[in-house]
Structure 1
Amino acid sequence: IVRLGEGVAENGRLSDAAMTRTLAALEVCAAKLRKRGVTRFRGVATEACRLADNCDDFLARAAEQAGLQLEIISGGEEARLALDSCTPLLEATASHALLFDIGGCSTELIWVRLTDGAPPEVADWTSPACGVVSLAERHGGDQVTADTYDTMVAEAGALVSPFVTALDIGDLLAGGNVQMLGTSGTITTIAGLHLGLPRYDRAQVDGFRLTSAEIRHQVARLLAMNFEQRAAEPCIGVGRGDVVIAGCAILDAILNACPVNSVDVADRGLREGMLLGMMRADDLAL
């Protein structure tokens, strides 16, 4: 976990330390690409680079040091890629879905229209600048008190709720016609904790359904832990022990704004969306 967006929300710039960590990881990736003879590659940057004044410097260093050409994609494309990857998990019985992707510096919310016989359609989307790294930087991530957690939920809710309110989906929710689908480390982590996995296993998590009560039970467990206890959880680890609470706060805010009985978990996202797009561009069978 490189945390490229560390400090961006406060300073508007990528820090030297964050760039150094990320470039080191990109060099490892580049070596693996060369070893496997990869001839087609696409690498993208998201909210941290959209926000940072010095992102062009970072992209230039990535090209020079790792030999990788990265592109900054818009929030709209990020939303479309996430939906593309998650399409197989959408339910035919629902008329709409709310897909969320909780990232490091932003959270994507995608309102999806589902029509029989037609591909899912992005009806609306938003990308508020509220992610696990930026929220944890503002409020801390070691021993988070109940009051601090409530403040984090309220801050995230102030950015999430207006979008959901504007959708005017009360009748759809009452009729059970909205599927909620989450992708990102927060919801996959909670699924892993709920399942009691001794080691994270994508095969058990991807497509799993959590009730809202089960989610909030795991959030309460995490809030009762300190950093060391959270880091010791096999589905969290040291690299995410301080940001997982911020992710829970954003998820709580989403559930408050859009109260559903369950959330479907997707261990898939931008990477899979990009792969599907590249396969289509090459006329490969999906």
Structure 2
Amino acid sequence: MPPEDPAGGPRSDAGATRIAGPTPVIRPTPHARVADNRPDPAELYAALDLGTNSCRMLIAQPKGSQLHVVDSFSKSVQLGNGLEQSGRLSRSSMARTIGALKICRRKLETHDVRRMRLVATEACRRASNATEFIDLVHRETELPLEIIQPEEEARLAVVSCAPLVSAKTEQLLVVDIGGGSTELVWIDLTRVPRHDRARAIMRLHAGFKGAAEDPFPRAKVVDWISIPLGVATLKDQFRDVTDDAARFALMSWHFEECLAEFSPYADAEGDADPGFQIVGTSGTVTTVAATHLNLRRYDRNKVDGLRMTTQQIDRVIRGYLAQGPDGRRNDPRIGRDRHALIMSGAAILQALLRVWPTDRLSVADRGLREGLLYAQMSADGVLDDGPF
């Protein structure tokens, strides 16, 4: 099944932000089952991404310049259900999420993970009862969940996609389509030697501006934006439009309007620029890729790094529209957790490709969790110099 979106929620300052202190150590309980051949806990790192739609976690260890995944977890929790109307996280949504987080807690205990970063994104940034929810998570699970701000979320998504950037790329747009928000980061690589471009992007985990004394050539962040519309929130805004095709068109044009202040590089004639690359990371993008490849069973190795033309993407989207809601619901290439959200995600994707001067999209089955892992390992100096 295609992976779920790194989720978020509509942006607001209502949700209180927690500033995390030193990463707590979770010790295994006497009931935790431990395998005799497990990796050394001292080498393990965990990253958890809690968003509007899903709760997703990776446990990994460094292997040279790569990440070796030891365990993973992904579950649709729909934390943001009803948030668009009430501005609050509902009790039922919080209960579902706590249940998923308890499973994550058990996995962390089983592997005796000592280094971790567990973050929540847009849904908690917006919710007026976010502080109450974070306190509940701590009481019920003892997990150190923190709410991160849009810039850090964007930075970490960019870092995770660095290995997919072509050495020929001079202008890069990284797009992370979430459940409640969409992050876009435009990066200028013209001053970075071709052989160092992936590493230069990875160094952005420390900040978009960088340090003045940084001896390495830097990738220049020209602009970035966090749009408070993702697959769930965009769908909710147009839920009253009953016609499937009309709803899709309205969603796409509405999202394009939100890009008006973030398109200084767009070509008025729509000409493709060979030095420009878009990398898309999200469940929407990987689902479109899986449909294009006609994968009845999702295969990350076939999807991650795939380059799709705009014509191929348009063909997939037209197919979704021809299927209608019932057809999409029964399409195994879309998946049970994705069918209700795929058209709002496709509307966002179509709007992006209309505006920016490229005829190809690079598909990334990676995102915030991988960025969190890389940032932790980089800070500890346990990764070889080079892309993971």
Letter of the 1:125 counterpart: W
Larger CA deviation: 244-253 vs 136-145: 136-145
1:266 to 341, 364, 367: 364
Quickly say closer, same or farther: Cα 1:228–1:30, change in 2 above 3 A: farther
Alpha-carbon distance, 1:263 to partner: 0.2
- Paired position in structure 2 for 1:75: 150
Structure 2 residues without counterparts, runs of 5 or longer = 1-75, 202-218
More helix by share: 1
CA distance in 2 between counterparts of 1:175 and 1:99 reads 16
Q: Does 1:51 align with 2:129?
A: no
Q: Secondary structure of 2:88's match? A: coil
* Structure 1 residue 123: Cα displacement: 2.5
| 1:285 Cα deviation from its structure 2 partner | 2.1
Moved more, 169-178 or 7-16: 169-178
Q: Does 1:237 align with 2:314?
A: no
Higher normalized contact order (CA 8 Å, seq sep 6+, divided by chain length): 2
Cα deviation per residue 1:176-223 (whole Å; 9 max; x = unaligned)?
221011000001000000001121111110000110010011111111
CA contact (8 A) 1:181 1:265 kept: yes
Provide the residue aligned with 1:199 in structure 2: 297
SS at match of 2:333: coil
* Alpha-carbon distance in structure 1 between the residues aligned to 2:121 and 2:232: 14
Q: Which among 140, 163, 181 is matched to residue 239 of structure 2? A: 140
Measure the CA separation in 2 of the matches of 1:263 and 1:72.
30
Q: Name which of 72, 96, 112 aligns with 2:171.
A: 96
Please report the TM-score for the alignment, with normalisation by the length of structure 2: 0.70
Match of 1:257 in 2: 355
Contact 2:89/2:127 (CA < 8 Å) preserved in 1?
A: yes
Taking a change above 3 Å as real, the CA distance of residues 174 and 241 of structure 1, as seen in their structure-2 partners, is closer
Deviates most, 183-192 or 249-258: 249-258
Name the Cα RMSD after superposition: 2.0
- Relative to structure 1, the CA distance from residue 175 to residue 189 in structure 2 (aligned partners, 3 Å threshold; closer, same or farther) is closer
- Between 1:202-211 and 1:11-20, the stretch displaced more is 11-20
Match of 1:86 among 161, 164, 179: 161
1:142–1:16 CA distance, 2 compared to 1 (3 A): farther
Counterpart of 2:180 in structure 1: which amino acid?
C
Distance 1:60 1:109 in 2: 31
Q: What corresponds to 1:157 in structure 2? A: 256
Any conservation in 2 of the 1:143–1:225 contact (CA below 8 Å)? Answer: no
1:65 partner letter: E
**Identity, % of aligned positions:** 41
Aligned to 1:126: 225
Return closer, same or farther for 1:218/1:143 CA change in 2, 3 Å cut-off.
farther
Q: Secondary structure at the match of 1:29?
A: helix
The change in CA–CA distance for 1:141 and 1:68 in structure 2 (over 3 A counts) is farther
Structure having the larger proportion of residues in strand: 2
**Structure-1 separation of matches of 2:243 and 2:315:** 16
**Change in CA separation of 1:71 and 1:270 when aligned onto 2, cut-off 3 Å:** same
Deviation at 1:168, TM superposition (A): 3.3
Distance 1:173 1:76 in 2: 30
Q: Quick check: 1:101–1:107 contact (8 Å CA) kept in 2?
A: yes
Letter in 1 for 2:362: D
Instruction: Tell me if the contact between 1:82 and 1:273 (Cα under 8 Å) persists in the aligned partners.
Output: yes
Tell me by how many angstroms 1:238 deviates. Answer: 1.9
Is the 1:110–1:125 Cα contact (8 Å) retained in structure 2?
yes
Please give the secondary structure, in 1, of the residue aligned with 2:323. Answer: coil
| The 10-residue stretch of structure 1 (233-242 or 73-82) with the greater mean CA deviation from structure 2 | 233-242
Report which of the two structures shows the higher radius of gyration computed on alpha carbons.
2
SS in structure 2 opposite 1:41? strand
| Cα distance in 2 between the residues matched to 1:228 and 1:145 | 11
1:279 aligns with 2:354: no
Consecutive unaligned residues of structure 1, counting only runs of 5 or more, are none
Give, in angstroms, the shift of residue 138 of structure 1.
Answer: 2.2
